[in-house]
Amino acid sequence: MANPFEGLKSARPSINRYIRSGHYLARIDAVKLAKNRTDGDIFAIEMTNVYTFPDGEAPRGGQPPHSVGEAFSEVISRAGSKDMYLPRIKGFIMSVLNATEDQVDENVALQVTDGAVQPLKGLVIELVGKNAKTKVNQKDIVRIDWAGQVPVVRLRSVVPAAVLTQSFDEAALTALEARQKGMGVG
């Protein structure tokens, strides 16, 4: 009998890392433009949870909100939401860069998805995930509202020190604060 697990060692794990409803501060790990299995465009925002606010909407099915240090992603698919693909991407970029509608164009989107540079990596953004249903087939989804980049001064005032040090050491916070000042944040 052939081994049904042949090739398992080299297989990439499949873990559901989508955002559950709740109110979070998250560090951006990567912003990617990629293709899905059917060669459709996807825009993926990979993040790590820095803090979970107690006021967030509870996830469905009795799941807990994300824990500090847990990785999660927002994946925006052109195929899944043709009419909302570009507006959702634009909303994210406007929020993290504190930009106006006119300031966000195709070139800015290409810059934020530059795999070699990853200009948004390390920035912290506030987001609120809310339980919702799709209009067409009433499928359960989590709709993300981006609430902007979080200045280090706010991180220090909102996140307990013992929790904050799980995500950032003092040198990383100092570097982030200098970076934010250069961006006009804080």
Containing domain of residue 88, as a range? Answer: 16-183
Q: Examine residue 131 and state whether it is found in any structural domain, yes or no.
A: yes
Q: Examine residue 94 and state whether it is found in any structural domain, yes or no.
A: yes
- Local mean pLDDT, 10-residue blocks, the chain (186 residues): 71 70 97 87 94 94 92 88 84 94 93 91 96 86 94 97 95 96 88
Structural domains in the chain (count): 1
Residue 100: predicted pLDDT = 93
Residue 148: predicted pLDDT = 94
Residue 99: predicted pLDDT = 92
Q: Examine residue 28 and state whether it is found in any structural domain, yes or no.
A: yes
Q: Examine residue 10 and state whether it is found in any structural domain, yes or no.
A: no
Q: Examine residue 109 and state whether it is found in any structural domain, yes or no.
A: yes
Residue 9: predicted pLDDT = 74
Residue 146: predicted pLDDT = 96
Residue 89: predicted pLDDT = 93
Q: Examine residue 128 and state whether it is found in any structural domain, yes or no.
A: yes
Q: Examine residue 55 and state whether it is found in any structural domain, yes or no.
A: yes
DSSP sequence for the chain: ---TTTTGGGPPP----BPPSEEEEEEEEEEEEEE-TTS-EEEEEEEEEEEE-TTSPPPGGGPPPPPTT-EEEEEEETTT-TTTHHHHHHHHHHHHHT--GGG--HHHHHHHT-TTT-TTTT-EEEEEEEEEE-TTT--EEEEEEEEEEPPHHHHHHHS-HHHHTTT--HHHHHHHHHHHHHHT--
Residue 138: predicted pLDDT = 87
Q: Examine residue 9 and state whether it is found in any structural domain, yes or no.
A: no
Residue 169: predicted pLDDT = 95
